Structure 1
Amino acid sequence: MDNLSGSWRRVFNKFWFVPAVCVLAAVVLAQSVVALDRWLPEGLDSPWVVWVYAVGIDGSRAMLAAIGGSMLGVAATAFSITISVIATASSTYGPRLVRNFMADRGNQVVLGVLVSTFIYTLLVLRTIRSASDDLAQPFVPHVAVNLAVVMAVADVALIVYFIHHIADSVQVDTLVRGARRHLLDVIDRWHPEEMPEELVRTVRHRGGGGEVTAGGDGYVVSVGFERLLDHAESGDVEVELVPRVGDHVLATEPLARVWPEHRAEELEGRLRRCVRLSDSRSADQDVRFAEQQVVELAVRALSPSTNDPYTAVNAIEEIATGLVRAVARPLPGNTIVVDGVHRLRYGPVGLDELVDMPFDQIRPHATGHVSVLLALVDLAARIEAATVHPSVQRQAREHVDVLLEQFRDSAPHPRDLARVEQHVRSRSAD
């Protein structure tokens, strides 16, 4: 089921998915409402006509043509605006954040509803018949025409929402908040507050084993751990997943190892189907990529072309939200045990990697911005205060020492140096 849900998740996140569903719904709605119109009594003096606005044949055609044409034009404009925003965000905040715009439900719904309104009016328009037509008796689907008017009014409100939404989506706070949400979600996945009973942490590296190659090139973006475990149990084998989620593998490199060794060839195809490779990384299961998205915002904000240290400080503060949660919890398990037998082993991302990333990647660009240095010192102090692991405490102190040493080597103004040193002492005292 993990692999199936992953396939559905990829389809569900495609930019065209929601518009396609809206168009399909418009086709069904148009046929249904026209069928209702045919079923209702005919004639303008019928009782049901009192409840709707009855329009003549020419008026109905003109109204539907105006609604359909205008909605298609607005949809094209909305699509152009979206592409422009994506291009701006890609050049300013990084190309990896573009997929967040593409997966934004608000943009998809707006484009889907506008296009579906055009499809609906087109399908209803083709059913209108006048006395001059040779195909059938005169027919005007009054309910369908009035529903098109209601949809047009709703589309106007949707356009106003779209303008607000697209303007809000390019704000730095919105981008950082979205990246932080992805980071917290994946940290909760890999660093739960309580480790499941069947999940333990081992340091034993078993030698040998039958090797299963990746069979393709790309990044490991998701792993169906439940399916891997099912194959290990049904085959009465022990499986070790060699790459971690987010690692890049080649077709000839090992994907998994199997004990007993002779069962590897038999399980090769099934094990490969449990691991999805892609040309680009995803934040669904990759905690390093989720953190990297927030770190990249800070790094790009400190580039000479952008020169926005306030955004960098904001990103560092959001990184603290995820790191503090991770370092305050037990080390993640790496081995699933069933009935006392080790069935599945994999490599989680260590806390040291998560802690190192923001300091190592932001520090080289931060020496010219005192406010960013102070934010990094605060990040280290928060990690040191929250963690339950002594090694992480030492790691945070080392990063502060390296940060201070590099700042001194950059020959800063004495006032700036004194300010940073004073902040380090005050945070250490806390």
Structure 2
Amino acid sequence: MGDWMLTKGLPPGRRPRPLSPLREHLRDTFWFAPTAALVLVLIVWTAAEAADSALLEALRSSGDEEAVAELLGIVNDAKTVVTTVSAAMMTFIGVVFTISLVAVQMAAGQFSPRMVRMFVRSRITKATFAVFLATFVLSLLVLTSYDSHSDPELVSSIPLVQSVLTLTLVGLSVVLFVLYVNSTLRLMRVGHVVDVVTAESLRVVARMPLDTTDGAPPDLGPESDLVAHHGRAGVLRDVDITRLVRVARRHGVVLRLIPRVGDFVVPGTPVIAVHGGTVPAGPRESRLRVFVGAERTFHQDLGFGLRQLSDIALRALSTSVNDPTTAVQAVDRMVQFLTSVARRPLGTCQYRDRAGTVRLVQPVPDWTELVDLAFAEVRMCTGHQAQVTSQISRRLLAGFDDLLAVVPPERRAPLVRHRSLLVEAVERSVPEAADRAFALRPDRQGIG
């Protein structure tokens, strides 16, 4: 059973479909969903207005003025609701999202500033904001369709379909508001936060190609060309793998990404090495879809999840917070992630074209680097307070023992090294023999 089975919500036997860089970047923005909703509501309102006009013409053609009068009465009753919605919705949006942003700021201060990204990427958040704005705009548009005449023979418009559509959006807004409040409250719970971070990290593992090797890349021959970064300085977010493979196949070369995803690059930095030929200069070929941004993302960054979990643990272990239980929960997920990649090749990903020829080589963190990222900083935080030392050291020791039981022999060295350093740190910081023995007793719950 493949490692991808560990991905949350993935049916056995299936791998997740990787997102394109464009889709991934749109998920990291907050403007796209509301903008799309506003465009859609304009289209729907136009269609609804046409339907109302067609309905009125059909009733008048049949000579059923009594039905026109009944519809006019229904629409006038709905106008009160539509007017109230248009007056209150924008205020409601402002109050709700102001309170939510304060809650997100508190969560970011408690866990890590990178947790704001979870709020931005939340589908419920975007859907709620988009539907709220769509309801507000639609209510204004519908109000313009109401006729000032009360005589059924003189009215030129009866916005029945438009009113029903507005009331439907109001109902949908109520449902999404409940879901949104629940989602925001969950964002403030450390258990949910570390669960989401771990699930995203496992999806990155699942999207990695199975053609991955340990250590350095295979012999690709001498470098024949280098492609420098010509864009703005920033963190390497991801690369367009499909385009890189296509370009390499077109020119009969092998491309090797020099920096890892998550590294900071500046203009002029070599980002791609070409082996076996050259790639002609030009905007379509030389830049090769290397994307940089202000911060790291999960899209192709294998170590970003461990970085966030480590940040949560470090903040919890700081003297200003002093919350070792939260650190234990973060360590739980670190162990889970490392277990999922314990027997998986790491170090170099290889992407092949349709003929099976390697066209792109991408470096990823190897096993030792992932272990160091997960445990080095957390281990160094032990020793400044007896409670913290006992609880986090017991959890770390249990984690090391669990990982040593599942990793192959050649991957035990970094775990043994961190375990030995942790024992030495506890022996130095805990003077009493009984307390020292207690702190060195492995426990998956820390101190229960």
Secondary structure of 1:283's counterpart equals coil
Q: Assess, with a 3 A threshold, how the Cα gap between structure 1 residues 32 and 328 changes in structure 2: closer, same or farther.
A: same
The one-letter code sitting in structure 2 at the alignment partner of 1:414 is: A
Q: Within the alignment, does 1:188 sit opposite 2:206 as a pair?
A: yes
Give a deviation string over 1:368-426, Cα, whole Å, max 9, x none: 311111111122112211112x23212211111100101111134433211133439xx
The structural deviation recorded for 1:314 is: 0.6
The one-letter code sitting in structure 2 at the alignment partner of 1:14 is: T
Separation (CA, whole Å) in 2 of partners of 1:46 and 1:316:
68
- Residue 172 (structure 2) aligned to one of 151, 154, 158: 154
The structural deviation recorded for 1:209 is: 2.8
8 A Cα contact 1:195 1:332, kept in partner: no
The structural deviation recorded for 1:205 is: 7.2
The structural deviation recorded for 1:290 is: 1.9
1:418 alignment counterpart: 437
1:314 alignment counterpart: 329
Task: Report which stretch shifted further, 375-384 or 265-274.
Answer: 265-274
1:229 alignment counterpart: 245
The structural deviation recorded for 1:336 is: 4.8
Q: Within the alignment, does 1:30 sit opposite 2:50 as a pair?
A: no
Q: Within the alignment, does 1:64 sit opposite 2:68 as a pair?
A: no
Secondary structure of 2:22's counterpart equals helix
Relative to total residues, which structure has the larger helix share, 1 or 2?
1
Separation (CA, whole Å) in 2 of partners of 1:56 and 1:186:
52
- Residue 46 (structure 1) aligned to one of 45, 67, 91: 67
Structure 1 segment 157-306 matched on structure 2, within 5 A: 157-190=175-208, 194-195=210-211, 202-204=217-219, 206-216=221-231, 217-260=233-276, 263-264=278-279, 266=281, 270-306=285-321
Unpaired runs of 5+ residues, structure 2, are 1-16, 444-448
The structural deviation recorded for 1:11 is: 2.1
2:144 alignment counterpart: 126
Separation (CA, whole Å) in 2 of partners of 1:137 and 1:341:
71
The structural deviation recorded for 1:333 is: 4.4
Aligned length: 413
Q: Within the alignment, does 1:141 sit opposite 2:159 as a pair?
A: yes
Q: Assess, with a 3 A threshold, how the Cα gap between structure 1 residues 291 and 31 changes in structure 2: closer, same or farther.
A: same
The structural deviation recorded for 1:91 is: 1.7
Q: Within the alignment, does 1:392 sit opposite 2:411 as a pair?
A: yes
Q: Assess, with a 3 A threshold, how the Cα gap between structure 1 residues 309 and 267 changes in structure 2: closer, same or farther.
A: same
Q: Assess, with a 3 A threshold, how the Cα gap between structure 1 residues 259 and 168 changes in structure 2: closer, same or farther.
A: closer
Secondary structure of 2:442's counterpart equals helix
Task: Report which stretch shifted further, 307-316 or 227-236.
Answer: 227-236
Separation (CA, whole Å) in 2 of partners of 1:183 and 1:130:
58
- Residue 408 (structure 1) aligned to one of 427, 439, 445: 427
Q: Assess, with a 3 A threshold, how the Cα gap between structure 1 residues 200 and 378 changes in structure 2: closer, same or farther.
A: closer
2:341 alignment counterpart: 326
Q: Assess, with a 3 A threshold, how the Cα gap between structure 1 residues 298 and 112 changes in structure 2: closer, same or farther.
A: same
- Residue 376 (structure 1) aligned to one of 374, 388, 396: 396
- TM normalised by structure 1 equals 0.86
The one-letter code sitting in structure 2 at the alignment partner of 1:9 is: E
Q: Assess, with a 3 A threshold, how the Cα gap between structure 1 residues 204 and 142 changes in structure 2: closer, same or farther.
A: closer
The one-letter code sitting in structure 2 at the alignment partner of 1:111 is: F
The structural deviation recorded for 1:334 is: 4.0
Q: Assess, with a 3 A threshold, how the Cα gap between structure 1 residues 318 and 140 changes in structure 2: closer, same or farther.
A: same
Secondary structure of 1:215's counterpart equals coil
The one-letter code sitting in structure 1 at the alignment partner of 2:91 is: G
